[in-house]
């Protein structure tokens, strides 16, 4: 089950907690992985740790020229691009009334715009190969909203609509497009929460704990696998029951 | 047949997996050669790449047949 031998996967935000776990899971299933991110050192460390079949592909996703080039670089490095995981995300939290245009634009550009541009770049090869997997990392807040995160929630909800539309366009070519919506997961992004904030959040999580990056990675691995070929346009919520959608 | 027509035909044959002799002047990509809407987009992108030209969406819509494609590309080059 879930054998990705011979497949090549590009993971954005691979220097982060979720991204590195996703890259490890895909690599562990036999895939060649392209590790993209802005921080080169953690990417190199991860690549060294993974050993063979790992390539470092630094990219600043707010740089459109670099974004356009990334799928080509991935294909040059790995030979093909069969699986794209749009994981990279940034937050610029603040209450809506005080939110600056740049706070909005940056979050939409990196979290949503980059996913569109990378998908566009990856699709040509997938169409020709008649096989492809695009997995977009959304978020629970895209479905429920969250005060202070109007920009982030809008981008993450946008990824769901984007995934569904693209899924319908390319399903006939053996390409699936799905989203994974993590709840509260132990990463650098949630480390900034104070203990009382975490306690309050966990009160709403039936599982009674935060999720682990590996638990998101497993969902991505499933959606990237040949076995999930009939699953497309779906959002897989991995949130400990926090929102049962 | 011009060189352009040969190159266009090669792309059509490769992409749609049809016999070369089916790709005639008036052959419609969709009605005669079995293309769907996604195929026509892919064909247009393949033409753009092969000939180094840009085919705007409104022009792409007018390219219905093999002959249309050859004519448009010949004029655009």
The string of pLDDT tens digits covering residues A233-245 is 999 999 999 999 9
Tell me the per-residue pLDDT of B8-42, one tens digit each, with 9 for 90 and over: 999 999 999 999 999 999 999 999 999 999 999 99
- Shortest CA distance from A126: residue in chain B: B42
Three-state SS string over A27-54 comes to: HHCCCEEEEEECCHHHHHHHHHHHCCCE
Residue B2: is its pLDDT beyond 80? Answer: no
Instruction: Report chain A residues whose CB lies below 8 A from the CB of B42.
Output: 127
Which of A104, A152, A162, A184 is an active site residue?
A152
Cross-chain Cβ contact A124/B36 below 8 Å: no
Rg (CA), chain B: 11
Nearest residue of A to residue B46 by CA position? A124
* Nearest residue to A74 via CA among A3, A128, A124, A28: A124
pLDDT in tens, A92-137: 999 999 999 999 999 999 999 999 999 999 999 999 899 999 999 9
Given pLDDT bands bounded at 50, 70 and 90, which one contains residue A179?
very high
CB contact under 8 A, A124 and B38: no
The answer to whether A56 and A44 have CB atoms below 8 angstroms apart is: yes
Distance from CA of A14 to the nearest CA of B (A): 31
Residue with token string 């497309």: A232
Q: A21 pLDDT band (50/70/90 cuts)?
A: very high
* Residue indicated by tokens 């040509």: A124
pLDDT at A216 over 80: yes
Model pLDDT for residues A181-213, shown as the tens digit of each residue: 999 999 887 888 888 988 988 999 999 999 999
Residue A68 confidence (pLDDT) above 70: yes
State the DSSP string of A169-197. HHGGGTEEEEEEEE-SBSSHHHHTS-HHH
Angstroms from B69 CA to nearest CA on chain A: 21
CB A167 within 8 A of CB A177: yes
Q: Is A222 a catalytic residue?
A: no
DSSP assignment, residue A127? H
Orientation of helix A64-78 relative to helix A114-129, angle to 10°: 30
Residue B77 pLDDT grade (very low, low, confident, very high; cuts 50, 70, 90): confident
Give the pLDDT confidence score for residue A189 in this predicted structure.
77
Per residue in B44-69, pLDDT (tens digit) is 999 999 999 999 999 999 999 999 99
Q: Tokens 């949130």 — which residue?
A: A239
Asked if this assembly's ipTM is beyond 0.85, the reply is no
Whether residue A31 contacts residue A53, with contact meaning beta carbons closer than 8 Å, is answered with: yes
Chain B residue closest in CA terms to A171: B38
Residue A223: the pLDDT is 98
Nearest to B20, CA basis, from B28, B29, B10 = B10
What strands, in cross-sheet order, belong to the sheet with A32-37? A54-58, A32-37, A8-11, A83-86, A132-137, A175-182, A235-238
Residue to test with chain B: of A124, A126, A170, most B Cβ within 10 A: A124
Q: How confident is the model at residue A173 (pLDDT cuts 50, 70, 90)?
A: very high
Residue A74 C-alpha from the chain's centroid: 16
- Return the active site residues of B: 36
Looking at beta carbons, which residues of chain B come within 8 Å of A169? Answer: 38
Report chain A residues touching chain B, CB-CB < 8 A: 124, 127, 169-170, 172-173
Interchain CB contacts (distance < 8 Å): A and B: 8
Mean pLDDT of chain A: 96
Under DSSP, is residue A227 helix (H, G, I), strand (E, B) or coil?
helix
The pair of three-digit structure tokens given for residue A2, joined into one six-digit string = 């879930």
Q: What is the pTM of this model?
A: 0.93
For residue A19, how far is the Cα from the chain centroid? 7
Comparing alpha-carbon positions, the chain A residue that sits nearest to B39 is: A127
Q: How many whole angstroms separate alpha carbon A117 and alpha carbon A97?
A: 30
The pLDDT value recorded for residue B1 is 53
Write down the pLDDT at residue A192: 83
Decide: B75 and B8 in contact? Cβ < 8 Å: no
User: Would an 8 Å CB–CB cutoff place B41 in contact with chain A?
Assistant: no
Mutate which of B38, B46, B48 to test chain A, going by most A C-beta atoms within 10 A? B38
Quote the CA–CA distance of A114 and A87 in Å, as a whole number.
10
Neighbours of A47 (CB within 10 A): 21
Distances (CA, A) of A94 to A105, A142, B30: 13, 16, 51
């Amino acid at each position: 089950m879930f054998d990705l031998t011979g497949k090549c996967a590009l993971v954005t935000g691979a220097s982060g907690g979720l991204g590195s776990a996703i890259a490890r899971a895909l690599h562990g299933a036999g895939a060649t992985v392209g590790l993209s991110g802005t921080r080169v050192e953690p990417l190199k460390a991860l690549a060294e740790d993974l050993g063979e079949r790992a390539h470092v592909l630094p990219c600043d996703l707010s740089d459109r020229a670099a974004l356009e080039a990334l799928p080509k670089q991935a294909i040059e490095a790995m030979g093909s691009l069969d699986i794209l995981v749009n994981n990279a995300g940034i937050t610029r939290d603040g209450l809506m009334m005080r939110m600056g245009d740049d706070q909005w634009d940056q979050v939409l550009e990196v979290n949503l715009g980059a996913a569109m541009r990378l998908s566009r770049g990856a699709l040509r090869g997938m169409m020709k190969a008649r096989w492809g997997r695009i997995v977009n990392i959304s978020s629970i807040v895209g479905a429920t909203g969250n005060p202070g995160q109007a920009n982030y929630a809008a981008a993450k909800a946008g990824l769901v609509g984007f995934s569904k539309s693209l899924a319908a366009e390319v399903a006939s070519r053996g390409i699936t497009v799905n989203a994974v919506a993590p709840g509260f997961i132990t990463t650098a992004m949630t480390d900034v929460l104070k203990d009382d904030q975490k306690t309050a959040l966990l009160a709403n999580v039936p599982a009674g704990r935060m999720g682990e990056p590996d638990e998101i990675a497993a969902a991505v691995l499933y959606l990237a696998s040949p076995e999930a070929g009939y699953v497309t346009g779906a959002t897989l919520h991995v949130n400990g029951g926090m929102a049962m959608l | 047949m011009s060189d352009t027509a040969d190159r266009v035909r090669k792309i059509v044959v490769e992409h749609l997996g049809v016999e070369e002799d089916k790709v005639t002047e008036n052959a419609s990509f969709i009605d005669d050669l079995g293309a769907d809407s996604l195929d026509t987009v892919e064909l247009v992108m393949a033409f753009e790449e092969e000939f180094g030209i840009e085919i705007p969406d409104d022009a792409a819509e007018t390219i219905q047949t093999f002959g249309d494609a050859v004519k448009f590309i010949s004029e655009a080059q």
